[in-house]
């Protein structure tokens, strides 16, 4: 048996956000589950690089687009490694294997008569990189980008004859009720198909960044048409027929609910047109909100997945994302809720149980638990929970599967309280009973830890080690080892608390600002009297030749300048200014500061929130274009080039002194 699983590939014009982390972690839990059941699994992830936004971003940073994409690949891989995401392959759409596949598919489709020349005139959302019909717009704006005005474009394009496939798509949905899940997404697409399909543009004219059409090389393949093909190119389409035959069709595409149309309407039609089978299943997951609000960098309601990992490590982050959010629905995150679940599930429930059982086995039985009899109440609990777990995982109800594993933990804690091993230990007549109780509890935790391996790979492996299960993690079979086992004896190991309880009140959550804090200083706020005019922060003087050594200063002079790390919370262009951007930055103080920085030639405001920069914190306030600036950002100012911000490693807390 084989299982080919993919996630959406990500645009690399911004750093990985929590929604993307959620998708990757969920898919990883599925991949690990399949592997753990002995299924030959291929798990693909990757980056979508032929986006005009990526190209623009690279140019703004003064980088060759390929070099920029390579740098971003590093950023994405680092984040996925931190979250222990175990993909087997990571594709970049600029790779030769992908180009070969795109050109082959486009050529096949062209030869099949499904691609023709025409003129596209209509709306285009640059941020989605998607053509939008009038009826798709909400108040004239893209529904996913309500702050952006879509562009009206008119250009010569090649069109893909999507309309031709409507009836076949309807029949396919009819014959394969599981093709798109959950059902709410399936119903949306069915309504769309019933309303009829238009042909779509599959090329862009006059652009340098992209894969040339094999039959009209002055055009590049439209980024969405290009991107979808990654799922086929990664397993050999166009480069390795035997490999492609082995892995295609894909068993499951995990994607966000906003891109189901591309994956279940456009993609199957593209494949049919080229004589290739469609994928077997597409699952559209929901979105994560922050405290009930849409996550948005500009609103200050975004959460960096790196902060989640920094707080408790990767496993609690993975557990929250997959257990607290019903897979397929939208979910919510707050730091309070994250901490609450950490304390409840890990510190109090599972962590406490493993500490108690290992400590008791050591105290009463010298560290060894021996099987006694055929297992009692907990054996029944484990069998029932394991069956529910496999049932849920099989239908991608990850949250239910993980909850079933935790049911074992809860029952085992109840069993310990009820059996009171500490009382049994005082009664010499109860020695056999104590043996049985200790074995049952340790066996129940072992089974639960086994079932938790896909979601908490590192911690579950450590739990198994403590419980005396010597099976290497790669050899654990969830279908076999996740059930009750009477084999033993086992030697348990004690260790420090795996998840120390955190105090909700005293705990320090990474800074999150609300829109309210963000605008502490605005045009309507009267400026303080002591304002110093005309001491505007200036970009450092441009050196046209090698700098002449300036007069040396002593350390005390330098220490007068208070440099601090700061996190950009929000940014907006200063009206009527070509150079200035108004920043709201976290410098570790009670309120964010406003700093006006002359960096607009190098940066778009939307790209700034979340960046860690260095600022001069003790500069006297200055008024720029009517805005009071409290500090100055540090930026390199190359001659004739745009300023480049001095960046600080994101592990540094805002407010940390730089010296
Ligand atoms: Zn959009």
Q: What is the Å distance from ligand 1's center to 201 Cα?
A: 17
Q: What is the Å distance from ligand 1's center to 277 Cα?
A: 30
Strands (E), 161-270: 180-181, 200-201, 203-205, 212-213, 216-221, 252-256
Inter-helix orientation angle 398-419/18-36, to 10°:
70
Q: What is the Å distance from ligand 1's center to 262 Cα?
A: 14
Q: What is the Å distance from ligand 1's center to 136 Cα?
A: 10
> CA 385, CA 469: separation in Å to the nearest integer?
20
Q: What is the Å distance from ligand 1's center to 93 Cα?
A: 21
Q: What is the Å distance from ligand 1's center to 101 Cα?
A: 27
Q: What is the Å distance from ligand 1's center to 146 Cα?
A: 8
Q: What is the Å distance from ligand 1's center to 315 Cα?
A: 33
> CA 652, CA 650: separation in Å to the nearest integer?
5
Q: Dihedral of CA 291/295/299/301: which sign?
A: positive
Token readout for 84 is 């222990």
Q: How confident is the model at residue 297 (pLDDT cuts 50, 70, 90)?
A: confident
The pLDDT, as a whole number, for residue 148 is 86
With beta carbons less than 8 A apart as the criterion, state whether 227 and 235 touch: no
Strand-pair partners of 205? 219
**pTM metric for this prediction:** 0.77
104-151 pLDDT, tens digit per residue, is 999 999 999 999 999 999 999 988 888 888 888 989 999 888 888 899
Q: What is the Å distance from ligand 1's center to 130 Cα?
A: 7
Residue 623 or 16, more confident: 16
pLDDT at 482 over 70: yes
Q: How confident is the model at residue 637 (pLDDT cuts 50, 70, 90)?
A: confident
pLDDT at 535 over 90: no
Q: What is the Å distance from ligand 1's center to 268 Cα?
A: 23
- The helix/strand/coil state of 355 is helix
Q: What is the Å distance from ligand 1's center to 258 Cα?
A: 10
Q: What is the Å distance from ligand 1's center to 147 Cα?
A: 9
Sequence-ordered list of residues with C-beta below 8 angstroms from that of 84, at least 6 positions apart, any chain: 28, 314, 315, 318, 457, 458
The pLDDT, as a whole number, for residue 547 is 38
Q: What is the Å distance from ligand 1's center to 131 Cα?
A: 9
Q: What is the Å distance from ligand 1's center to 293 Cα?
A: 19
SS (H, E, C) 445-511: HHHHHHHCCCCCHHHHHHHHHHCCCCCCHHHCCHHHHCCCCCCCCEECCCCCCCCCCCCCCCCCCCC
φ/ψ (deg, to 5) at 253: -105, 120
Token readout for 113 is 């008569």
359-372 pLDDT, tens digit per residue, is 999 999 999 999 97
Burial of 508 (0-12, 13-18, 19+ CB in 10 A): exposed
Q: Which helix or strand (DSSP H or E) is residue 168 part of? A: helix 166-175
In the chain the first and final C-alpha atoms are separated, in Å, by: 58
The pLDDT, as a whole number, for residue 164 is 98
Where is mean pLDDT largest: 112-116, 299-303, 590-594, 612-616?
112-116
The pLDDT, as a whole number, for residue 550 is 54
φ/ψ (deg, to 5) at 393: -65, -35
Q: What is the Å distance from ligand 1's center to 124 Cα?
A: 8
> CA 453, CA 465: separation in Å to the nearest integer?
12
Token readout for 282 is 């597409």
Strand-pair partners of 627? 624
Sequence-ordered list of residues with C-beta below 8 angstroms from that of 514, at least 6 positions apart, any chain: 300, 301
Q: What is the Å distance from ligand 1's center to 534 Cα?
A: 41
Q: What is the Å distance from ligand 1's center to 137 Cα?
A: 9
Q: How confident is the model at residue 595 (pLDDT cuts 50, 70, 90)?
A: very high
Share of the chain above pLDDT 70, in %: 92
The pLDDT, as a whole number, for residue 355 is 95
Q: What is the Å distance from ligand 1's center to 501 Cα?
A: 42
Q: What is the mean pLDDT of the chain?
A: 89
Residue with tokens 């645009």: 11
Q: How confident is the model at residue 463 (pLDDT cuts 50, 70, 90)?
A: very high
The pLDDT, as a whole number, for residue 274 is 98
Q: What is the Å distance from ligand 1's center to 148 Cα?
A: 8
> What are the angstrom distances between the C-alpha of 402 and each of 263, 392, 405, 582, 597?
28, 9, 5, 45, 48
Q: What is the Å distance from ligand 1's center to 350 Cα?
A: 43
User: What's the full length of the chain, in residues?
Assistant: 659
Q: What is the Å distance from ligand 1's center to 129 Cα?
A: 7
275-292 pLDDT, tens digit per residue, is 999 999 999 999 999 988
> CA 388, CA 462: separation in Å to the nearest integer?
24
pLDDT at 539 over 60: no
Strand-pair partners of 568? 585
550-582 pLDDT, tens digit per residue, is 567 777 778 888 899 999 988 999 888 888 899
Indicate the DSSP class of residue 199. -
208-254 pLDDT, tens digit per residue, is 899 999 999 999 999 999 999 999 999 999 999 999 999 999 999 99
Q: What is the Å distance from ligand 1's center to 123 Cα?
A: 10
Residue 589 or 102, more confident: 102
Q: What is the Å distance from ligand 1's center to 133 Cα?
A: 12
Q: What is the Å distance from ligand 1's center to 75 Cα?
A: 24
Burial of 516 (0-12, 13-18, 19+ CB in 10 A): exposed
Q: In degrees to the nearest 10, what's the CA dihedral of 341, 346, 349, 352?
A: -140
Q: Which helix or strand (DSSP H or E) is residue 48 part of? A: strand 40-48
The pLDDT, as a whole number, for residue 591 is 80
Q: What is the Å distance from ligand 1's center to 310 Cα?
A: 31
pLDDT at 357 over 70: yes
Residue 293 or 439, more confident: 439
Residue with tokens 């200050």: 300
Q: What is the Å distance from ligand 1's center to 29 Cα?
A: 30
210-220 pLDDT, tens digit per residue, is 999 999 999 99
How many Cβ atoms are within 10 Å of 421's Cβ, its own excluded? Answer: 20
Please give the average per-residue pLDDT across 605-634, as a whole number: 88
Residue 28 CA from chain centroid, whole number: 11
The pLDDT, as a whole number, for residue 551 is 65
Q: What is the Å distance from ligand 1's center to 125 Cα?
A: 5
Cis bond leading into 182, ω under 30°?
yes
Q: What is the Å distance from ligand 1's center to 132 Cα?
A: 8
Sequence-ordered list of residues with C-beta below 8 angstroms from that of 146, at least 6 positions apart, any chain: 138, 139
pLDDT at 526 over 60: no
φ/ψ (deg, to 5) at 205: -100, 150
Q: What is the Å distance from ligand 1's center to 145 Cα?
A: 5
Q: What is the Å distance from ligand 1's center to 91 Cα?
A: 24
């Amino acid at each position: 048996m084989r299982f080919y699983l993919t996630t959406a590939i990500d645009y690399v014009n911004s750093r990985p956000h929590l929604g993307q982390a959620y998708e990757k972690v969920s898919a990883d839990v599925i991949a690990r589950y399949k592997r753990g059941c002995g299924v030959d699994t291929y798990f693909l992830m990757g980056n979508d690089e032929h986006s005009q936004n990526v190209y623009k971003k690279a140019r703004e940073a003064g980088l060759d687009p390929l070099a920029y994409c390579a740098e971003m690949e590093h950023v994405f891989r680092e984040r996925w490694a931190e979250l222990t995401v175990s993909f087997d392959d990571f594709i970049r759409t600029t790779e030769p294997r992908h180009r070969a596949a795109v050109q082959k598919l486009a050529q096949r489709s062209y030869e099949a008569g499904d691609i023709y020349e025409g003129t596209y005139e209509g709306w285009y959302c640059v941020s989605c990189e998607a053509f939008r019909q009038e009826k798709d717009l909400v108040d004239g704006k893209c529904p996913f980008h309500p702050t952006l005005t879509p562009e009206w474009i008119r250009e010569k394009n090649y069109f893909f004859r999507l309309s031709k496939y409507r009836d076949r798509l309807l029949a396919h949905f009819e014959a394969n009720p599981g093709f798109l899940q959950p059902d709410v997404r399936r119903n949306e697409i069915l309504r769309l198909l019933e309303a009829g399909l238009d042909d779509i543009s599959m090329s862009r004219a006059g652009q340098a960044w992209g894969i040339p059409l094999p039959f009209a090389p002055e055009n590049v393949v439209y980024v969405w048409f290009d991107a979808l093909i990654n799922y086929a190119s990664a397993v050999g389409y166009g480069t390795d027929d035997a490999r492609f035959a082995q892995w295609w069709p894909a068993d499951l595409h995990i994607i966000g609910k906003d891109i189901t149309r591309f994956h279940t309407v456009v993609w199957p039609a593209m494949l049919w047109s080229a004589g290739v089978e469609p994928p077997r299943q597409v699952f559209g997951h929901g979105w994560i909100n922050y405290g009930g609000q849409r996550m948005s960098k500009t609103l200050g309601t975004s959460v960096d997945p790196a902060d989640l990992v920094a707080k408790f490590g990767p496993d609690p982050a993975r557990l929250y994302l997959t257990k607290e959010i019903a897979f397929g629905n939208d979910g919510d995150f707050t730091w309070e809720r994250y901490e609450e679940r950490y304390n409840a599930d890990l510190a109090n429930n599972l962590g406490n149980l493993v500490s108690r059982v290992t400590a008791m086995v050591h105290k009463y039985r010298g560290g060894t638990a021996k099987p006694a009899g055929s297992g009692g109440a907990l054996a029944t609990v484990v069998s029932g929970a394991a069956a529910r777990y496999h049932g849920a995982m099989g239908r991608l109800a990850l949250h239910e599967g993980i909850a079933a594993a935790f049911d074992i933990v809860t029952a085992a804690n109840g069993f310990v309280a009820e059996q009171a091993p500490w009382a049994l230990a005082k009664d010499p007549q109860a020695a056999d009973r104590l043996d049985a109780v200790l074995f049952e509890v340790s066996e129940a935790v072992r089974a639960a830890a086994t079932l938790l391996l896909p979601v908490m790979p590192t911690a579950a492996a450590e739990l198994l080690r403590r419980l005396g299960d010597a099976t290497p993690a790669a050899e654990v079979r969830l279908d076999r080892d996740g059930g009750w086992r009477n084999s033993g004896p086992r030697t348990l190991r004690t260790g420090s608390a795996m998840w120390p309880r955190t105090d909700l009140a005293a705990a320090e959550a990474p800074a999150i600002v609300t829109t309210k804090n963000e605008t502490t200083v605005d045009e309507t706020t009267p400026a303080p009297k002591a304002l110093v005019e005309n001491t505007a922060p200036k970009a450092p003087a441009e050196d046209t030749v090698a700098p002449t050594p300036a007069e040396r200063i002593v350390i005390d002079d330098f220490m007068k300048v208070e440099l601090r790390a700061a996190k950009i919370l929000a940014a907006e262009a200063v009206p009527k200014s070509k150079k200035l951007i108004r920043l709201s930055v976290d410098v570790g103080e009670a309120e964010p500061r406003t700093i006006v920085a002359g960096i607009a030639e190098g940066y778009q405001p939307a790209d700034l929130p979340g960046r860690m920069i260095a600022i001069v914190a003790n500069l006297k306030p200055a008024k720029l274009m009517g805005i009071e600036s409290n500090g100055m950002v540090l930026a390199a100012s190359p001659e004739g080039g745009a300023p480049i911000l001095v960046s600080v490693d994101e592990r540094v807390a805002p407010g940390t002194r730089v010296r």
